[in-house]
Structure 1
């Protein structure tokens, strides 16, 4: 995440958290959670307000979370009632740890040329047959908008990225519209990706 984007989130942490906390995510949860073992360990990567991590915790999953923004991590820790780490996707350095990793509207701030390494970090962090959920704003450009930098992806762009990783396999891609009020015109690319160990 660029310094510009990071400072945006640190300066607007409370208003960003407030605007996202009560968005209805049930349609996405229903795609992801059935693929995770009961009481499995889920990492909410780039967790923002920890809205999703808190829901997963309520459903009986073991949850870990991190965010690159110090200020958002503080808010998220309070909401989740457990520590939220301050780190970036580039700093994710563990192996064979999570049954699922949830990257909801968070990877979109990683510069496109850094995404291959970031997907490798995510692949390593997943257990064999673990599942990764990702979402990007729909498109094929890198752009700046309202003080933040975005990497937009479409199906072709994401497929090209994932095929670089022998152990990652896309199991589903679909488009959805933004659930926030007045944002219905924004289209998102969603994908479920599985870590399939090469024998």
Structure 2
């Protein structure tokens, strides 16, 4: 990617990317075996056989590997070049090095999986990123997104985080008319020793009817 695109990251977001580049092996080892079966079920029940999924911020490649093994078509992206390499090795996919603000897909995916990834986007930039994700989805397509639960926004443990609670997430989605919140629930972190951390998990659907109207 060229320097123009890279300069679109804020300093906080760039620092987060540098964190993942420098700690790619450590992050990979701590996340690649996490049990995400509940979250997979929540997402996959809305998808048809062989659905095309965008793994948006794929990290270790753990989830892309799962989806591939279950018969889905997967396109995987991540903002960390080092994690792209790790995920490519794990999955056999050519993982694309891409930042969220550079998403340029149009009606390409049945589902977008954004697991613990959008939480690194600054809050005032989240609506624009969500609009790009909405455009990437086909009508009736499904988005899974997860955020650390709360109202914190700032640097934590060397990375930038935007935490969301029920109200702030619902407000975010309400500002994008093509999207409808289907379901959400709070879960605990599945990694050992982090059971006290809570996550907001949400399923959002892109309306079919608005898609038809926009084409007319």
Taking structure 2 as the reference length, the TM-score comes to 0.91
- Root mean square deviation of aligned Cα: 0.8
Residue 27 of structure 2 corresponds to 16
Residue 129 of structure 1 corresponds to 140
Cα deviation for residue 141 of structure 1 reads: 2.2
Residue 188 of structure 1 corresponds to 199
Residue 120 of structure 1 corresponds to 131
Residue 182 of structure 2 corresponds to 171
Q: 2:48 aligns with which of 37, 46, 49?
A: 37
Residue 64 of structure 1 corresponds to 75
CA distance in 2, matches of 1:107, 1:3: 14
Count the aligned residue pairs. 199
Residue 55 of structure 1 corresponds to 66
CA distance in 1, matches of 2:34, 2:162: 22
CA distance in 2, matches of 1:37, 1:92: 24
Stretches of 4+ aligned residues off by more than 4 angstroms:
none
Alignment gaps of 5+ in structure 2: 1-8
Cα deviation for residue 94 of structure 1 reads: 1.2
Deviations 1:57-101 (A, max 9, x none): 000000110000000000001111010000111111111000000
Q: Is 1:81 aligned to residue 92 of structure 2?
A: yes
Cα deviation for residue 143 of structure 1 reads: 2.1
Residue 142 of structure 1 corresponds to 153
Query: SS in structure 1 opposite 2:18?
Result: helix
Taking structure 1 as the reference length, the TM-score comes to 0.98
Query: SS in structure 2 opposite 1:144?
Result: strand
CA distance in 2, matches of 1:51, 1:68: 16
CA distance in 2, matches of 1:179, 1:61: 24
CA distance in 1, matches of 2:14, 2:54: 24
CA distance in 2, matches of 1:39, 1:129: 15
Cα deviation for residue 37 of structure 1 reads: 1.1
